[in-house]
Amino acid sequence: MTIGHGATSPRQVGLWVELTDEAHGQMVLKLGTSRFECILVPDVENFAARSRYRGPAHTLDRWVAELNRLAIGRRSVTLPFNFSDQCTGWLRVTPTHDGLVDVQAGWSLLGQYDFEASEFLTAGRFLPDFTPVENARIVRPLAKIIGAVTACRDELAHSLDLDGTITGERNDGHC
């Protein structure tokens, strides 16, 4: 898949979210050569109904907003990719030099019920126990990371209904 004129696909960037089980809406996050179960929606009853939350695509919208903060001088952002009861998975994105960012996957013992679902990005800013996964990192231009996340968001929005269920109109199963 090509993202606009002269852009590269999320696979070429090394960061993408793939729908792996149509029946259950299960996803995997791929970062470089690493794969992680990807749960982009907090497990909170009626969370979508009480807010304007639009499922996984909404989480990726929030990722893009946080990544754009790096362009205006923020030191780093932490993006959730796995909401679990026992722990949570995060991507820590830190500028390095010349427009490049280091994207590192890691885990925290902070469980999804330890913070308000509506504040899931804020919770990631203060993770005292972020534990990086060895060799689960890439260094790429910030613009390419934002483009990859945007493409994944667009693909998921096309593939999933607002509540996160499969619409049946998928392209090739990944973005």
- pLDDT value of position 97: 87
Mean pLDDT in residue range 33-50: 73
Rounded distance between C-alpha atoms, residue 63 and residue 95, angstroms: 15
* Report for 6-20, 25-39, 41-55, 115-129: range of highest mean pLDDT: 25-39
The answer on pLDDT for 169 being more than 50 is: no
- pLDDT value of position 46: 46
The domain limits of the chain are 10-159
pLDDT per residue as tens digits for the range 75-103: 899 999 998 888 999 999 999 988 899 99
Rounded distance between C-alpha atoms, residue 26 and residue 64, angstroms: 21
- pLDDT value of position 60: 92
Mean pLDDT in residue range 63-76: 88
Q: Mapping DSSP to helix (H, G, I), strand (E, B) and coil, where does residue 100 land?
A: strand
What residues contact residue 87 under an 8 Å CB cut-off, 6+ apart?
107, 108, 109, 110, 111
pLDDT per residue as tens digits for the range 1-25: 333 434 568 888 999 998 887 656 6
- pLDDT value of position 30: 95
Comparing CA positions, the residue from 173, 167, 164 lying closest to residue 41 is: 164
CATH class of 10-159: alpha beta
